Amino acid sequence: MDLGNRHVVVTGGGSGVGAETAQALARVGARVTIMGRRAAALRDQGLPWQVCDVTDPPAVAAAFAAARDAQGPIHVVVANAGAAESVPFAKLRPEQLAATLAVNLAGVVHCWQAALADMRAAGWGRLIAIASTAGLKGYPYVAAYCAAKHGVVGLTRALALELAETGITVNAICPGFTETPLLERSLAEIVQKTGRSEADARAALLAANPQRRFLQPDEIAGAVLWLCSDAARSVNGHALSMSGGEI
């Protein structure tokens, strides 16, 4: 694959899936800009970076403008930034719901809008959201997160049709539990709230995957590379489950 003439922005690029995806794209020649809220984590990746809170539209516009000035028009956006909080639905506070929707759904909208004009001008583009199996099914105690990720899948399907004749494809990747810092935080929260051991918490999450293993970030990065390739040019409006057969 040759992405040498393509500028790719990856949000949530300081760790986990975002960092792995950014490095994979750089290895095949893309000009990569990573974005996130923590400068130190971004700096550690050794790639061009911009501090950006995806929930803040002016901040997104400024970060994308700076990335464009540094590396040229943007051809691919991998909207990976996200966050999850576990809370029983009856105790879900309005501010928790708003925060979850802001980062997981509105953040995708802001970032895709910030690059769309570049892609239209080029007649080519890839809008890719890292959603979740929570966008395809429900899980208890994360109703807000499931609602947000279902929203991302709906957004993907609608925008894919809107842009179908432009040379831009729009797709979502829906991983199951993946070995990342987000998973570690989820396990710690389970241990803290239930009193289970970490081993028991891991076993409970692994039970959802028929392969009985957590995904690795490089698997998701590989799916992103494929969606960026010409081999996937007819894949549009798709929500790709990566879950070992769970969905």
Contact 125, 119 (CB under 8 A): yes
Quick one: average pLDDT of 194-205? 90
Closest CA to 160 of 169, 147, 151: 169
2 has pLDDT over 80: no
pTM above 0.85, yes or no: yes
- pLDDT value of position 182: 81
**pLDDT tens digits along 146-189:** 999 999 999 999 999 999 999 999 999 999 999 988 888 888 88
- Per DSSP, helices labelled H in the chain are 16-27, 39-43, 57-71, 94-101, 107-122, 143-162, 181-194, 198-206, 217-228
Active-site residue, from 49, 64, 124, 145 = 145
d(Cα 47, Cα 35) in Å, to the nearest integer? 10
CB atoms inside a 10 Å sphere around CB 161: 11
**pLDDT tens digits along 109-148:** 999 999 999 999 999 999 999 999 999 999 999 999 999 9
Annotated catalytic residue 145: yes
- pLDDT value of position 185: 82
- pLDDT value of position 187: 86
Residue 30 to residues 10, 39, 138, 143, Cα–Cα distance (Å):
11, 22, 36, 37
**pLDDT tens digits along 94-112:** 999 999 999 999 999 999 9
Quick one: average pLDDT of 240-246? 97
Looking at this protein, which amino acid is placed at residue 239? A
d(Cα 180, Cα 150) in Å, to the nearest integer? 21
Q: Which of 23-32, 188-197, 208-217 has the lowest mean pLDDT?
A: 188-197
- pLDDT value of position 194: 85
1 has pLDDT over 80: no
211 has pLDDT over 90: yes
59, HSE (Cβ side, Cα atoms, 13 Å): 12
Strand order across the beta sheet in which 168-175 lies: 49-51, 31-36, 7-11, 76-79, 125-130, 168-175, 239-242
199 has pLDDT over 70: yes
Quick one: average pLDDT of 80-100? 96
- In the chain, count H helices and then E strands: 9, 7
> Tokens 């130190």 appear where?
40
Contact 22, 10 (CB under 8 A): yes
- pLDDT value of position 4: 84
